[in-house]
Structure 1
């Protein structure tokens, strides 16, 4: 072309301008388009948008929008020329300009403030299409805070506009501008006869209440009216979401919405609305046994469906139940058990999550045994998830569910040997942590370490390197619990140990040093009879033969540790007949005699005499109740009156008289007997019976958790449940 690349297009270029369709065909011919092709197309469109002809400019803006939206081409240099099209009297040109601005502008675009005047004119225009285009730009990601602040008055007037189309779009735009628009105007749309306007307003309030529901509690009467009268399922779903956030703020609201939600659940055929009703009942109406029973019946329909999506929703709904309603899980135990073998991976995971949520200290060993047996028959991915879930449950909150620490040690060993186990680092950390915390578990840990070390097949599995490293450390640190020290040295020095990485082999050599020192110390205390002397000689000969090749290893750490051990062995041989032999052994034993502590731990604090520590701190409410009441009263009295107090007082009849409601801090309960309420442990026991496919879970003799705990982690304190804040004066005026 003869035209300049930086100036406006020539007349010939304007006459033969390519359309958007021509550009798309050219790009598809070079699919995927190269950077050079995109650069040429963008340069051509930038040159064309400088033309004085509005039609040429509009086509160029259309092509730049396409290149920016689909190929990420930077078109910020043409932002001013896009703004030149906004005042166009041709609606098509105006529409293309607003589309280009919405998709290519950002809040940091320098020329964006220049659009304020034209946006204000279009928002005030009697033409609905022009005002709708302006609203779309204001509601897009291109709008800045300054632009929204300057146009807030116009948008507020459109929220209550008599024109339905604009009122609908203004309600949607108010979501992005919620910090600048008064809610009172948007509240009026809840009473609009136009279902689309109501739907738009409900969507906005649903999104806003997700961040902070408290300011929208006075609108509960309007939401309730929509819940009762609406025939639109999606509007009802949004209203239920809002009520699920408002009900925890005002307990009396739960009794008000219980009957309408149950009515919806009985008569609705839409599964989406039925699930939302169930979710709201499980999360907000757990004190209403009649509603819970109805929801559980509906969940039974979901679980018995042939649709995998509905079965998944049924399991997800059961996981929302509080612990006091585990009888519902017991009623559906067969379905939950079968779901572990479902073909759908999401259903299997949800069933596993539901089972793990029911674990208690009493049933942890039984459920773990069944799940480990099930993991043997599962695919590798799901088997790994089962093993991870079992380990997480057994180690939760510093082993709070473990009654028998020896069982925990055997569980960690069984997990480590599972072919699909992929948490070797976590197992290593837990083995060491248990050894440092519980003194009674150390003999069992030493036995487990010996079993892991003497198994040569484990050395060829790179995934178990960390577990074997922990086993070697345990074998050396607690060598006093080993039955045969020479056997332990043979396991640590076996030739297949060369398959381990340098870090693990270094721990092996350190364990050899510790086991040797303990062996020699024991033999010295036993006055070294002939048998013991022969065992010591075998140990020394084995160490010399195995470590001598490592003195020339390329790994400096291995070479250093091997030379240290061999030097100690040769010193022992030289001093064996000398009087200082015993002192050398005692000196080496003293080097390893210090007690190790839990990382970042602290010593257990001894309770002073005369102080009684109580588990139940409910008396604090009686002691501090007056102070909390005075503090809340003083803060409430200083609060300014609400600007919407008159409107809120108009809704005071929404709630029943105060005497008919339970106290503000008292959970509402119905008079039923709980509908076959069963304790959590019996529900899980019934579930376990159905989980067993082959074999039965062996009964384990439970021992009391050892009272001696060497170290505790810092900051492991039980969190008290937060106290419910008192409602603000405007809300109290409405409720009371």
Structure 2
């Protein structure tokens, strides 16, 4: 029989909780439940929804232990994307707890949630000030928890309020508090820079602190701040230099080297003082990390100049050992420093060719990618073919590397499959092109070999995503043909093979622009130009607009050179090919791209004139085809110029658009002289009018004649006829046709004017008076004869 006074389940839980018995799900239970319900997304979602419901109930509980447990679970679930800003006030309540474990959970949750609600920080400011006060007992840990939480939630307003408290803590008798205060000040300085400006000396004194951990924290903060602006910390250089000389802590030495790397970039005077000390440090230490940071400080700190071979070789000898290390991370960062030293002076790394070639076949693709950047410094005429051959072998989707283990362990060698990404292949193509063309092809001794390499690269580049590779390869074909005349016939053959390949036109169309330009420019070495023209016409419609712009003049050049190199030209074949060209250009003349349309129209008109000339003279080629057309392209041979010369020329052209051509006085003199000439003209006109006064009807006829469109049209028509007579290239047949057409237009306009005159004669008297006024205003004009009168 159950007693009426038996305790409930809730009462039992409350009584057992002080003894460490909890019946709610802990963080460990939550993690275990997530793993056990991870079979399907729906199952996991139902489980998490149930957990969130329980956490909401527990967070509203008055028991701080239960509330802390709920906040801890919500902090974990926040990493899954669940929002916990709704419980900010519960977090603030836990932060104010006197128990360190609960306070720690509260500050941890605040660092993940308070940044979403800046207003809650106004309520937390006083709590932070209270927790930052050290009052003995176990307050060291409490202060440390508060400082750690402050670093994560600080804002500009909070930083301004709390800065003085943190600087006061720098004088604490506890090294742990001083160290935590220094690290917390870093985030305060980022949010409130005025704090560093106003308390710079107080902060710098921590470099002389008696505790090494405080000094290390201070150096680290200065190092991080110097990455943003190193100038304010240059004044600390003497203090930092003494610290570098006297300290024996490798971690502090590394931070000091990083700091001096930032400072020496803005203060060149540090180099003579620092470089000898850093070299001494490299000789005295055996720590790999210190050696690497010393070399990094010399290179990135601009302490290595391009003629300091001794320092460069000393650094490179250490880097060579790092590159032969079994640690892939050390090999990678060593390759980066190798490259930076090579950029200062490529001669520094010229004797490390074997090392670079060894890195090219490294098991790590990222190290290979870095090693490729070193090739520019070791390439020469002797090893170019070897380097290119090594690179060409890496154009595979998967590579196999054989690792030889230590023979003393009696373990067999291992084979490792390596996936080669497309980005690495693109870099290979760029590198091969750069190595071969560097220094104006100084390292290339066999250009036929280079032509074969470029053909292989064009085939390989079809499967790569970078469209710029085709442009670069086309530029190489063009440059070689311009600079090396003896290779033109060989390159032309290769280009024709490329254009004839349909895969190239579809998958690497960007290479066609440079190739087709080369065909047109050096078409004098092409024997079967008619077949090439037909091939280009057949594929030309599928080309892009950029390629079609180059294709149009190239076809005209190829046709011109093919026709004129024949000893006995076949007129019928020429007519057929000419007809196909005209038909192709007529189609392109309706292109939506203006440049293509303009060039095709020009070519069409020229070829039509040639076609008419051939029709009228079947026995021999007309002069338009043998002399006029070649003169458009073969006036002089194209000569190579240095890259960038045209841009330099354009930059030297200065046009002054501000200074006027005439001063104000000169302009007034011109206007005054113009007015005097007009006055004299009017006087002469008045004298002529008085000597020969026409009748009223003659004046009216003169006005009609001068103001009528017939007179103006006759003037323009007469001027055109006069120009035609003086033009030796004008055709008489077309002139007569145009003259008849002009006469018909003039007659039609005269008839229209006659009808208008009849209509005006029936107007009212008011209109006649206005007309007479217009006639009177024109009496000052002198009578003149129009060119139309001469033609009549």
- Place the TM-score, normalised by the shorter chain, in its bin: 0.5 to 0.7
Task: Look up the match of 2:144.
Answer: 132
Shift of 1:45: 1.8
Note if contact 1:446-1:479 (Cα within 8 Å) is conserved in structure 2.
Answer: no
Deviations 1:505-541 (A, max 9, x none): 7777777754554456568878x97424254256358
Max radius of gyration: which structure?
Answer: 2
Q: Which residue number corresponds to residue 295 of structure 1?
A: 315
User: Equivalent of 1:539, from 562, 577, 580?
Assistant: 577
Distance 2:327 2:69 in 1: 49
Quickly say closer, same or farther: Cα 1:132–1:30, change in 2 above 3 A. same
Q: Could you say if the C-alpha distance between residues 424 and 570 of structure 1 is closer, same or farther in structure 2, counting changes exceeding 3 Å? A: farther
Q: Which moved more, 1:429-438 or 1:188-197?
A: 429-438
C-alpha separation in 2, matches of 1:400 and 1:326? 13
Query: 2:47 and 2:634 mapped to 1: Cα distance?
Result: 72
- Unpaired runs of 5+ residues, structure 1, are 1-9, 596-703, 718-736
2:392 equivalent to 1:376: yes
Equivalent of residue 453 in structure 1, options 496, 504, 509: 496
Q: C-alpha separation between the residues in 1 aligned to 2:378 and 2:321? A: 22
Shift of 1:192: 2.0
Structure 1 position 463, deviation (Å): 3.9
Residue from 59, 75, 100 that aligns with 2:84: 75
Q: What corresponds to 2:615 in structure 1?
A: 577
Match of 1:152 among 149, 153, 163: 163
1:163 and 2:179 matched = no
CA contact (8 A) 1:424 1:463 kept: no
Is the 1:472–1:492 Cα contact (8 Å) retained in structure 2? no
- Is the Cα contact below 8 Å between 2:526 and 2:562 reproduced in 1? no
Q: Are 2:154 and 1:143 equivalent residues in the alignment? A: yes
Give me the whole-angstrom Cα distance separating, in 2, the residues matched to 1:469 and 1:40: 65
* Aligned match of 1:354: 374
Question: Does residue 683 of structure 2 align to residue 712 of structure 1?
Answer: no
1:59 to 65, 69, 86: 69
State the aligned residue count: 577
Contact preservation (8 Å) 2:78, 2:84: yes
**Which residue does the alignment assign to 2:454?**
415
How far does residue 220 in structure 1 lie from its aligned partner after superposition? Answer: 1.9
Which range is displaced more, 95-104 or 18-27?
18-27
Contact 1:477 1:511 in 2 (8 A): no
Task: Provide the aligned C-alpha RMSD in A.
Answer: 4.9
Q: Give yes or no for the alignment of 1:332 onto 2:355.
A: no
Residue 224 of structure 2 is aligned with which of 199, 207, 224?
Answer: 207
Alpha-carbon separation, structure 2, partners of 1:574 and 1:25: 92
CA shift, 1:207, in A, is 0.8
Give the match for residue 23 of structure 1.
Answer: 30
| Per-residue Cα deviation, 1:177-201 (whole angstroms, up to 9, x for no partner) | 2223433233222222222212211
2:706 matched to which residue of 1?
none
- Contact 1:472 1:507 survives alignment (8 Å): no
| Cα separation, partners in 2 of 1:591 and 1:319, compared to 1, 3 Å | same
Matches of 2:611 and 2:345, distance apart in 1: 71
- Residues 417 and 434 (structure 1), Cα distance of their counterparts in 2 relative to 1, 3 Å cut: closer
> Whole-Å Cα distance in 2 between the matches of residues 523 and 457 of structure 1?
19
* Corresponding residue for residue 515 of structure 2: 471
What is the aligned partner in structure 2 of residue 91 from structure 1?
100
Q: Which position in structure 1 is the counterpart of 2:745?
A: none
SS of alignment partner, residue 193 of structure 1: coil
The equivalent position to 2:533 in structure 1, one of 489, 493, 518, is 489
Give the structure with the higher percent helix: 2
Give the corresponding residue for 2:256: 239
Match for residue 263 of structure 1?
Answer: 280
Distance 1:111 1:593, change over 3 A: farther
CA drift of 1:30 comes to 1.8
Change in CA separation of 1:168 and 1:404 when aligned onto 2, cut-off 3 Å? closer
What's the counterpart of residue 224 of structure 1? 241
Structure of higher RCO (CA pairs closer than 8 Å, 6+ residues apart): 1
- Deviation at 1:97? 0.8
How far off is 1:436 after superposition?
9.8
Structure 2: distance between partners of 1:242 and 1:400: 38
Alignment deviations for residues 73-92 of structure 1 (CA, whole Å, 9 cap, x no partner): 11112112211222112222
Q: Deviations over 1:200-220 (max 9, x none)?
A: 111111111122222112222
Tell me the CA shift for residue 117 of structure 1.
0.6
Task: Indicate the SS of the match to 1:106.
Answer: helix
- Residue 195 of structure 1 is matched in structure 2 by 212
List per-residue Cα deviations over 1:444-496 (Å, max 9, x = no partner). Answer: 789746522334774225542321354235435765664431132244256xx
Would you say the 8 A contact 1:406–1:441 is kept in 2? no
Q: Distance in 1 between matches of 2:450 and 2:650?
A: 27
Checking the alignment, whether the CA contact within 8 Å between 1:438 and 1:708 is kept in structure 2 is no
Which runs of structure 2 are paired with 1:603-618 in the superposition (5 Å)?
none
Q: Is contact 1:520–1:585 with CA below 8 Å preserved after alignment? A: no
**More displaced 10-residue stretch of structure 1: 309-318 or 205-214:** 309-318
Rounded Cα–Cα distance in structure 1 between residues aligned with 2:510 and 2:474: 11
TM-score (norm 2): 0.61
Cα deviation per residue 1:114-153 (whole Å; 9 max; x = unaligned)?
A: 100100100114211221111112111x321111111111
1:41 aligns with 2:51: yes
SS at match of 2:543: helix
The secondary structure found in structure 2 opposite 1:224 is helix
Matches of 1:433 and 1:454 in 2, distance apart? 17
Q: Mind listing any 5+ residue stretches in structure 2 that lack a counterpart? A: 1-9, 15-21, 397-419, 653-792
Map Cα deviations across residues 322-381 of structure 1 (whole Å, 9 max, x no partner).
67765652443332333333333343333321222467xxx5x77654432222222444
- 8 Å Cα contact 2:320-2:355 kept in structure 1: no
Contact 2:131 2:142 in 1 (8 A): yes
Report Cα offsets for 1:658-708 as digits up to 9, x if no partner.
Answer: xxxxxxxxxxxxxxxxxxxxxxxxxxxxxxxxxxxxxxxxxxxxxx96369
Measured in 2, the distance between the counterparts of 1:434 and 1:326 equals 24
Q: How has the CA–CA distance of structure 1 residues 125 and 510 changed in structure 2, closer, same or farther, with 3 Å as cutoff? A: closer
The offset of 1:305, in angstroms, is: 4.3
| Equivalent position SS for 1:84 | helix
Measured in 2, the distance between the counterparts of 1:217 and 1:24 equals 51
2: distance between equivalents of 1:77 and 1:97? 14
Return the alpha-carbon distance in structure 2 between the equivalents of residues 405 and 293 of structure 1: 29
